[in-house]
């Protein structure tokens, strides 16, 4: 299997710790290494992984080459601009198809937390088996542990349609739901969290792309010809419409399979999920760096190079950096993206 790690995001939900030139995937959100390095190290441990590629922005490529070990410099794929996940994956598939015509490729976000290596390796092995046996697009789902409104969901057929117990046919992909709908999903017992990980052969991927995303398929063919001729493909790339792989392909394709995985998973999508995975005091306070909480419960502090103190407050997030301080209630952490947009409108580029 050839593994592709998507690492071009901006990570605005982790402002002010995350910045445009140093986004979430390059930060030590949990553990002692960056999220991207953790993802590389996780995949390197799997026997069937032939090679690892990283897709990213031009302005992050040099930093990734300098800081990330275990990936060859020539395996850094650069997107001329961000076009969401479907074009990103398509560009990667072109690269891999040159190495092996019908290679199996796995696609992974750069910034997810996974606990349970053996179960993770087993899920990938099963996915590879299913994609080859069924000529199918395969994704990985996780059993929900709470009614999340921040994750997408996948409904699956409870009767396994394979000789492998962990493989099921997908019924439908569901967008991020409101709370009452998320609760119904969990009660039904046939919905899993959408992990954003995919496994398929390059051939099956391009056949499905041609059928369901013909514009992107033909644009990628043009790009392939330009690459072979040693020419710049930026002009064609800029004509591509940004679209996610879920919306553009997975929701339309027939015969998609899901592997019901058993590892612990989080996309670490907000400061609240970091709080969930950080050691807490008896009062439920989680502190990373230099912080103190007096007469307060269930707070999160991220503070580097200076003391941050909370007194008499509950359920808030405080993030302190050299040039900015964020104070926000835990129930409003999703509004950080709106805050970043507001800062952009004020043209405060030094804070982005």
- Give me the CATH number covering residue 229: 3.90.550.10
Task: Indicate if the pLDDT at residue 14 is higher than 90.
Answer: yes
Examine the domain organization and report whether 79 and 133 are in the same domain.
yes
CB neighbours of residue 178 within 10 Å: 9
The count of domains in the chain is 2
Please state, in angstroms and rounded to a whole number, the distance separating the CA atoms of residues 58 and 196.
Answer: 23
Q: Domain for residue 151, yes or no?
A: yes
pTM for the structure as a whole: 0.93
Q: Domain for residue 273, yes or no?
A: no
Q: Domain for residue 233, yes or no?
A: yes
Examine the domain organization and report whether 303 and 260 are in the same domain.
no
Identify the domain boundary among 266, 291, 317.
Answer: 266
Identify the domain boundary among 227, 244, 266.
Answer: 266
Cα dihedral value 19, 21, 23, 26, nearest 10: -130
Examine the domain organization and report whether 284 and 217 are in the same domain.
no
Identify the domain boundary among 243, 266, 289.
Answer: 266
Please state, in angstroms and rounded to a whole number, the distance separating the CA atoms of residues 34 and 51.
Answer: 20
160: pLDDT confidence band, cut at 50, 70 and 90?
Answer: low
Q: Please tell me the predicted confidence (pLDDT) of residue 305.
A: 83
Element (H, E) at 347: none
Examine the domain organization and report whether 233 and 318 are in the same domain.
no
For the chain, give the mean pLDDT. 94
Examine the domain organization and report whether 50 and 172 are in the same domain.
yes
3-state helix, strand, coil in the chain (%, to 5): 40, 25, 35
Tokens of 233: 């493909």
- What mean pLDDT do residues 109-124 have? 95
* Tens of pLDDT, residues 221-276: 999 999 999 999 999 999 999 999 999 999 999 999 999 999 999 988 899 999 99
* 76 neighbors 59 (Cβ within 8 angstroms): no
Please state, in angstroms and rounded to a whole number, the distance separating the CA atoms of residues 111 and 267.
Answer: 7
* 195 neighbors 265 (Cβ within 8 angstroms): yes
Task: Indicate if the pLDDT at residue 159 is higher than 80.
Answer: no
Q: Domain for residue 274, yes or no?
A: no
Tokens of 83: 């076009």
Examine the domain organization and report whether 191 and 331 are in the same domain.
no
* Tens of pLDDT, residues 53-99: 999 999 999 999 999 999 999 999 999 999 999 999 999 999 999 99
Q: Domain for residue 319, yes or no?
A: yes
Task: Indicate if the pLDDT at residue 102 is higher than 90.
Answer: no
Examine the domain organization and report whether 101 and 233 are in the same domain.
yes
Please state, in angstroms and rounded to a whole number, the distance separating the CA atoms of residues 240 and 254.
Answer: 24
Please state, in angstroms and rounded to a whole number, the distance separating the CA atoms of residues 251 and 154.
Answer: 10
Domain span at residue 53 reads: 2-266
Compute and round to an integer the Cα radius of gyration of the chain.
Answer: 21
Q: Where are the alpha helices (DSSP H) in the chain?
A: 35-44, 58-67, 85-99, 117-134, 179-188, 202-212, 214-228, 234-238, 245, 271-276, 336-345
């Amino acid at each position: 299997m050839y593994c592709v790690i998507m690492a071009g995001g901006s990570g605005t939900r982790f402002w002010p710790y995350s910045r445009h030139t140093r986004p979430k995937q390059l930060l030590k959100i949990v553990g002692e290494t960056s999220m991207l390095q953790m993802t590389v190290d996780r995949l390197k441990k799997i026997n069937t992984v032939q090679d690892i590629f990283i897709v990213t922005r031009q302005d992050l490529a040099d930093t990734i080459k300098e800081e990330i070990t275990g990936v060859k410099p020539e395996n850094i794929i650069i997107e001329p601009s961000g076009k969401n996940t479907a074009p990103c994956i398509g560009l990667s598939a072109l690269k891999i198809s040159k190495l092996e015509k019908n290679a199996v490729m796995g696609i992974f976000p750069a910034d997810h937390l996974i606990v349970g290596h053996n179960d993770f390796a087993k899920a990938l092995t099963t996915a590879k088996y299913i994609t080859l046996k069924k000529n199918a697009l395969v994704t990985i789902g996780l059993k929900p542990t709470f009614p999340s409104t921040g994750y997408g969901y996948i409904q699956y057929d409870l009767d396994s349609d394979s000789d492998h117990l962990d493989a099921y046919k997908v019924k439908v992909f569901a967008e991020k739901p409101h709370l009452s709908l998320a609760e119904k999903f969990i009660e039904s017992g046939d919905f899993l969290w959408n992990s954003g990980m995919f496994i398929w052969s390059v051939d099956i991927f391009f056949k499905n792309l041609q059928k369901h995303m013909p514009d992107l398929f033909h644009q990628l063919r043009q790009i392939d010809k330009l690459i072979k001729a040693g020419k710049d493909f930026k002009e064609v790339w800029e004509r591509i419409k940004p679209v996610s792989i879920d919306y553009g392909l997975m929701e339309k394709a027939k015969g998609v399979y899901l592997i019901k995985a058993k590892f612990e998973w989080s996309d670490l999508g907000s400061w609240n999920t970091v709080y969930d995975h950080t050691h807490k005091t008896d009062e439920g306070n989680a502190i990373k760096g230099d912080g103190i909480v007096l007469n307060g419960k269930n707070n999160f502090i991220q503070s580097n190079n200076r003391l941050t103190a909370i007194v008499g407050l509950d359920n808030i997030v405080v993030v302190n950096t050299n040039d900015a301080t964020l104070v926000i209630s835990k129930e409003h952490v999703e509004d950080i993206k709106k805050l970043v947009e507001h800062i952009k409108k004020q043209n405060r580029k030094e804070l982005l």
